[in-house]
Amino acid sequence: MNLDVILFAVIAGATALSALSVALTRDIVRSAVWLLFTLIGVSTLYFLLGAEFVGATQLIVYVGGTMVLVVFGVMLTAQQQFLKIKTAGPEWLVGGILAIALFAVLVHVSLGFGENHPKPATNTLPSAGPLGTAFLGNYLLPFEIVSVHLLVVLIGAAYLARAKRRSKEEGRS
Amino acid sequence: MELGLTPYLILAAFLFSCGLLCIVTKRNAIGILMGVELVLNAANVNFVACARYVPGFAMEGQIFALLVIVLAAGEAAIALAIILNFYNNSATVDVDRADELRN
Amino acid sequence: MALPVKDLFSFLPTPFDMIAGAVVAAGLLVTFVATSALFFIWLERKVSARMQDRLGPTRVGPYGLLQTLADGLKLLTKEDVSPDVADKLLFNMAPYVAFCASFVAFISLPFGNGIVAYPLNVAAFFVLAVLSSEIFGVILAGYSSGSKWSLFGGIREAAQVVSYEVPRSLCVLVPVIVAGTLNLNTIGHQQQGFFWQWNVFHDPFTLVAFVIFFIVATASCKRAPFDLAEAESELVAGFHTEYSGLRWSVFFMAEYASMFAVSGAATLLFLGGWHTGLLPFEPSEKFGWAGHLLNLAVFIFKGFFLVFVMMWMRWSLPRLRIDQVMMTCLKYFLPISCGLLLGVCVWELYVPNLVENSWKIVAGVGTLLASILLVVKLFTGPLTTPNRELPGVWAGRPTAITPP
């Protein structure tokens, strides 16, 4: 036993438990909180793997940005005090069978794939500096595509969520 | 006992299945969005774990993980804008009621 | 040389020595956060009292230093009420989420040359990321209380912090570009020497970036004049309206911890970290343990000073309206910080060494002289004003009760 194994067991257990709770909880805000814990667990896993920059990015973008947005959405669309929309029994059955079958297939594949890759000698991954250089070198095209995509998202979200003033003015006149 | 690649892959598979379960069973549009986030995170765990364990993949794995994080943030923003519009039009976020285009 | 907490327990078998070291480091940090929060609450009351011409707490302990402890005991014995309509699980969890977020930031904050719990390579980024997730506790508290005042507070907080995160990150990037690394320990090292070597005096852009970072950090700690989330005059107490007893005090701990965390980050990024600014060498390498202690004291003093300035601002300035808060961020701070980012890149690329060095000395010495002048002026002026006259800059103006 070494520390990596213990840490992985604790973090992975917590992450998996919260991920399961996301799917099983009916209350949408609690679901969001469990998703928050899953995301934090995943970012801890990145730190454990030595990918510090990716872990910190996960924290700042997902936890600080996306999750706040999601909870904001939940608050804006909640009609009753705490929003619950029930799911019928057969849907649970179908969904459960589907998920378990997929999990079985994926585990089968990963058992075959994972055994060929033992623990590497180095304990570090390239950090912010090399990643930045790579983004401006070999990976310039995906970087540019992502930035254009973000611009499109910015305009699109602002257009979709804008306050609809025109109809009000028409009503007044 | 050494920590190999397999535990990470299995964890990612579990997260993916939970995300799928979430997408299939939730009727709340925001719940479905959360399921999608789970699925994307599962993929990301695979990317970063492979960056660590598969030789020659150290850079690619991290870069694709970063791209996925950025795209997921954009996707969440657009999806929430759409959901808010849907809510403004039909006063609910139940996706089963989004059937105005039928017939 | 790093502080050898890690090696203290080398007599234990392999996983346990690291676990024991981690527990000791975490315990030290918790102790520091808790005691400094106690001190800050006392300081806040004293500062506010002095600014309002009162004495503040005086009864418990010397200068009322133990007042916070007494208050803490009172809070412990209070009944822990939660509203009937609240979502109990989230309601109970929210304060701890907020506290954990601001506590985790201390993990990668170096308190001296290598005195850091975990030397992260991307520490500057990590501190920002963790501090920005503190709002989650606030939003949860606001939502789960089942009270509209709390919900308003939570939503305002979310809008405010998400907007202020952007200029804050851009302002952090300015010294990071100067340093060429995200490692806070290395950034601290680079500012070794006299005080004009500090990043804040590096060029005009870092000077402005420091001011903007400080204001924006105050806003993201939800401190007055930006404390819209708990505006008493409008929202009762904002997101913590429904909290009482120990949970309420955990929110306060979180607030003071994040205040010190951003002040520490500002100290490391702009104000020379643990360097006194008067010694041309690294004290911990010359004097060993004594040097480490000096570093620790200097760093904590600088952090406490910035926290004191935050309190000073809080009791001097009136609260902004929510639209003014958003406008200040989006119309002013965001474009200015984008401009700073471009400016510092140009400065780094094209400005010759001579100009750079002379700017450093001019800015450093100028700031020192200006602050000395300010302090002298503050202390030599009359401490009391004559009857029926106005103090300070208003001296000589007519008032309603001045005899004609």
Q: In chain B, what residues touch A3 (CB-CB under 8 Å)?
A: none
Sorted by sequence, the CB contacts under 8 Å of residue C58 that are 6+ apart come out as C64
In the prediction, which pLDDT does C2 show?
Answer: 47
Q: Look at residue B94 and give its three-state secondary structure.
A: strand
Q: Is the CB of A2 less than 8 angstroms away from the CB of C90?
A: no
Contact status, residue C175 vs residue C187, Cβ threshold 8 Å: yes
Taking residues A86-101, what's their average pLDDT? 81
Task: Confirm whether C4 is domain-assigned.
Answer: no
Q: Is the CB of A53 less than 8 angstroms away from the CB of C122?
A: yes
User: How many CB atoms are located within 10 Å of the residue C371 CB?
Assistant: 10
CA–CA–CA angle C17, C22, C28 (5° rounding): 130
Q: Would an 8 Å CB–CB cutoff place C139 in contact with chain A?
A: yes
In the prediction, which pLDDT does C6 show?
Answer: 57
Q: In chain B, what residues touch A139 (CB-CB under 8 Å)?
A: 63
In the prediction, which pLDDT does C9 show?
Answer: 66
Q: Give the mutation candidate from A8, A47, A63 for the C interface (greatest C CB count, under 10 A).
A: A63
Domain extent for C220: 81-380
* Integer Cα distance of C43 and C58 in angstroms: 12
Give C107 to chain A, closest Cα distance, Å.
13
Give B103 to chain A, closest Cα distance, Å.
25
* Integer Cα distance of A125 and A127 in angstroms: 6
Number of independent structural domains in chain C = 1
Comparing CA positions, the residue from C81, C94, C91, C79 lying closest to residue C145 is C91
Q: Would an 8 Å CB–CB cutoff place A79 in contact with chain B?
A: yes
pLDDT beyond 50 at A172: no
Contact status, residue C309 vs residue C25, Cβ threshold 8 Å: no
pLDDT beyond 90 at A148: yes
Q: Would an 8 Å CB–CB cutoff place C89 in contact with chain A?
A: yes
Tokens of C173: 């990037």
User: How many residues are there in chain C?
Assistant: 404
* Integer Cα distance of C384 and C254 in angstroms: 38
In the prediction, which pLDDT does C8 show?
Answer: 63
Taking residues A107-131, what's their average pLDDT? 76
Interface of A with B in 119-148 (CB under 8 A): 119-120, 125-126, 130-131, 134-135, 139, 142, 146
Contact status, residue C153 vs residue C239, Cβ threshold 8 Å: yes
Q: Is the CB of A49 less than 8 angstroms away from the CB of B1?
A: no
In the prediction, which pLDDT does C141 show?
Answer: 85
Q: Would an 8 Å CB–CB cutoff place A8 in contact with chain B?
A: yes
Characterize C79-104 residue by residue with b for buried, 16 or more Cβ atoms within 10 angstroms of its Cβ, and e for exposed.
eeebbeebbeebbebbbebbbbbbbb
* Integer Cα distance of A134 and C116 in angstroms: 30
Q: In chain C, what residues touch A33 (CB-CB under 8 Å)?
A: 90, 93, 140
Contact status, residue A101 vs residue B44, Cβ threshold 8 Å: no
Task: Confirm whether C318 is domain-assigned.
Answer: yes
DSSP C22-64: HHHHHHHHHHHHHHHHHHHHHHHHHHHHHHTT-----SSSGGG
User: How many residues are there in chain A?
Assistant: 173
A86 pLDDT band, cuts 50/70/90, is low
Position of tokens 């406008």? C327
Strand partners for B94: B28
What would the pLDDT profile of B26-69 be if each residue is shown by its tens digit? 878 888 888 999 999 999 999 988 888 887 788 888 899 999 99
The CATH number that domain B7-91 falls under is 1.10.287.3510
Give me the residues of chain C with pLDDT under 70, please: 1-12, 14-15, 229, 231-233, 382-383, 392, 401-404
Q: How far is CA B19 from the centre of its chain?
A: 7
Characterize C337-352 residue by residue with b for buried, 16 or more Cβ atoms within 10 angstroms of its Cβ, and e for exposed.
beebbebbeebeeeee
Q: Is the CB of A64 less than 8 angstroms away from the CB of C165?
A: yes
* Integer Cα distance of C304 and C109 in angstroms: 15
DSSP C302-360: HHHHHHHHHHHHHHHSPPPPHHHHHHIIIIIIHHHHHHHHHHHHHHHHH--HHHHHHHH
Sorted by sequence, the CB contacts under 8 Å of residue C293 that are 6+ apart come out as none
In the prediction, which pLDDT does B43 show?
Answer: 92
DSSP code of C240?
A: G
Q: A-side interface with C, Cβ within 8 Å?
A: 1-3, 6, 27, 29-30, 33, 36, 40, 52-53, 56-57, 59-60, 63-65, 67-69, 71-72, 75, 81-82, 127-129
For B45, which of A2, A42, A72 is closest by C-beta distance? Answer: A42
Q: Identify the burial level of C326 via C-beta atoms within 10 angstroms of its C-beta, where 0-12 means exposed, 13-18 middle and 19 or more buried.
A: middle
**What domains appear along chain A, each with residue ranges and CATH number?**
3-125 (1.20.120.1200), 127-173 (no CATH)
DSSP B43-80: HHHHHHHHHHHSTT-HHHHHHHHHHHHHHHHHHHHHHH
What would the pLDDT profile of C240-266 be if each residue is shown by its tens digit? 777 877 888 888 888 888 889 899 989
Peptide bond between residue C335 and the one before it cis (omega within 30 degrees of 0): no
Contact status, residue C109 vs residue C264, Cβ threshold 8 Å: yes
Q: Look at residue A136 and give its three-state secondary structure.
A: coil
* Integer Cα distance of A123 and C58 in angstroms: 55
